[in-house]
């Protein structure tokens, strides 16, 4: 009897499995249109992500070598032209064509990074993202994109006027043959042209430059007495941000069919994540209530530390990178103060740092990046606590914050070492 029960149970399980399989097969056959469509959509989404984002990203990063790198970036386009990846650096280098040495010194921080040219070109040429090149295939056009993203500069002519006093010795002889010496001061004026930058329009923002007249005099002694040389020239008095937060690049995206702000923000954050060094966003932040202790150095602005000094792994490349300062998250327009008495050695655009100020304090220097406004000029003397600018998001930044650095002999050190033993706000 027991054996019979076991056999019955075994056969019941067997037939149950067979029945389940038949029912499952019938169910799958009956619903194949539903689950097949879902599976197909999933596969297409994964493939689209890989083609649109991952492959070009790996190409720009240089993870692929040689032809693999180029073909990954150009995946989808059908042409027999030379590799676009080889063209980008050459084309981007044209950003400074026609500029004199004097002009180049003023605009060097605005140099066009070829990787930005490549990223924007692929986005505009992809019919799945913009579709403005009227094609079903990926079409890369570095020259056309270069015309869109290249920095544009406006200039004004001025002059440097030099007035120089010189002593002329005049020998005179009277009727009796007696010779005397007379001394006269003569003035000579020379003029030297100055070409001054008045406006810089970049994909990151638009900046206006203003100038003021400055006069410097030097004296020297001669037989005629004191001689004076006077130089009158134009010096930079300030830089105003006319447009920031990647406004010009967003306009390019809008003009090419990428109209939604969320799409623009996604692309910007995506590009920034691997085309620039990480800014350490949200890396080991201190508690909201943390309060610094001010001793020799004043705390540079009001805000929350969102990222500390230190090494971290780049989320895309995997490389170990140093975040050379600390980020203080604060609303745009928050005032920024000089940490100590010092001299302004840089005030203006500074590449990925955006609008930036560098102060020399003798034994160390402090740096203030991503500003929306610069209120000092190169050569100014500042006093601890002076307002020098305002918080912004210029340069390689996705949100308003102050990147604050302290350097000794040009080597970055942890700023919090100068504000230790801070407590927590009540």
Does 311 share its domain with 402? yes
Is the per-residue pLDDT at 315 higher than 60?
Answer: no
Percent of the chain with pLDDT over 70: 74
Does 60 share its domain with 133? yes
* Whole-Å CA distances, 99 to 104, 109, 152, 346: 6, 14, 11, 22
The C-alpha atoms of residue 40 and residue 34 are separated, in whole angstroms, by: 10
Q: Could you tell me if 307 and 285 are in contact, meaning their C-beta atoms sit under 8 angstroms apart?
A: yes
Residue 21 lies in a domain: no
**Residue 389's beta-bridge partner residues?**
336, 374
| Residue 65: count of CB within 10 angstroms of its CB | 8
Q: Could you tell me if 141 and 123 are in contact, meaning their C-beta atoms sit under 8 angstroms apart?
A: no
The C-alpha atoms of residue 64 and residue 129 are separated, in whole angstroms, by: 24
Q: Which domain holds residue 215?
A: 153-243
Tokens representing 177?
């043959």
Place of tokens 């340069």: 395
Does 403 share its domain with 308? yes
pLDDT tens track for 218-243: 999 988 889 999 999 998 887 888 88
Element (H, E) at 158: strand 152-173
Write the CATH number for 375: 2.70.70.10
Does 337 share its domain with 399? yes
The C-alpha atoms of residue 342 and residue 364 are separated, in whole angstroms, by: 10
Q: Could you tell me if 268 and 393 are in contact, meaning their C-beta atoms sit under 8 angstroms apart?
A: no
Residue 83 lies in a domain: yes
Prediction pTM value: 0.57
Does 67 share its domain with 192? no
Please compute the mean of the pLDDT values over residues 48-77 and round it to a whole number: 49
Domains in the chain: how many in total? 3
- 284 — pLDDT class (breaks 50, 70, 90): low
N- to C-terminal Cα separation, the chain: 81
- 388 — pLDDT class (breaks 50, 70, 90): very high
Tokens representing 239?
């830089």
Does 307 share its domain with 232? no
The C-alpha atoms of residue 375 and residue 373 are separated, in whole angstroms, by: 6
Q: Could you tell me if 281 and 408 are in contact, meaning their C-beta atoms sit under 8 angstroms apart?
A: no
Lowest mean pLDDT among 120-134, 211-225, 272-286, 344-358: 272-286
Q: Could you tell me if 91 and 117 are in contact, meaning their C-beta atoms sit under 8 angstroms apart?
A: yes
Q: Of the residues 221, 243, 265, which one is the last residue of a structural domain?
A: 243
Q: What DSSP character marks residue 383?
A: -
């Amino acid at each position: 009897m027991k054996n019979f029960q076991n056999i019955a149970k075994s056969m019941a399980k067997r037939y149950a499995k067979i029945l389940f399989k038949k029912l499952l097969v019938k169910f799958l056959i009956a619903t194949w249109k539903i689950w097949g469509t879902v599976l197909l959509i999933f596969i297409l989404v994964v493939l689209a992500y890989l083609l649109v984002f991952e492959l070009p990203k790996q190409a720009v990063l240089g993870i692929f070598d040689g032809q693999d790198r180029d073909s990954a970036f150009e995946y989808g386009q059908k042409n027999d032209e030379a590799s676009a990846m080889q063209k980008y650096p050459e084309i981007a280098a044209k950003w400074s064509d026609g500029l004199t040495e004097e002009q180049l010194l003023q605009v060097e921080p605005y140099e066009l990074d070829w990787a930005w040219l490549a990223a924007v070109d692929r986005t505009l040429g992809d019919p799945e993202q913009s579709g403005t090149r009227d094609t079903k295939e990926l079409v890369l056009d570095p020259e056309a994109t270069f015309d869109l993203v290249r920095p544009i500069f406006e200039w004004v002519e001025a002059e440097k006027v030099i007035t120089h006093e010189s002593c002329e010795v005049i020998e005179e002889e009277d009727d009796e043959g007696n010779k005397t010496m007379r001394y006269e001061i003569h003035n000579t004026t020379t003029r030297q042209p100055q070409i001054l930058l008045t406006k810089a329009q970049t994909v990151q923002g638009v900046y206006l430059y203003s100038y003021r007249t400055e006069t410097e005099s030097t004296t020297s002694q001669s037989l005629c007495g004191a001689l004076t040389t006077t130089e009158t020239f134009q010096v930079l008095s300030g830089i105003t941000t006319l447009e920031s937060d990647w406004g010009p690049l967003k306009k390019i995206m809008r003009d090419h069919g990428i109209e939604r702000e969320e799409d623009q923000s996604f692309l910007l954050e995506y590009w920034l994540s691997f085309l620039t060094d990480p800014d350490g966003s949200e890396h080991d932040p201190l508690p909201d209530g943390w309060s610094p202790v001010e001793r020799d150095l004043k705390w540079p602005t009001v805000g929350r530390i969102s990222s500390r000094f230190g090494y971290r792994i780049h989320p895309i490349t995997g490389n170990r990178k140093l975040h050379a300062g600390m980020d203080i998250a604060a609303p745009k327009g928050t005032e920024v103060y000089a940490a100590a008495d010092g001299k302004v050695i840089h005030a203006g655009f500074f590449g990925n740092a955006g609008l930036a100020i560098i102060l020399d304090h003798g034994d160390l220097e402090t740096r203030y990046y991503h500003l929306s406004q610069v209120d000092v000029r190169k050569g100014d003397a500042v006093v601890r606590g002076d307002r020098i600018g305002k918080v912004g998001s210029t340069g390689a930044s996705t949100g308003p914050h102050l990147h604050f650095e302290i350097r000794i002999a040009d080597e970055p050190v942890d700023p919090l070492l100068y504000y230790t033993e801070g407590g927590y706000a009540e």
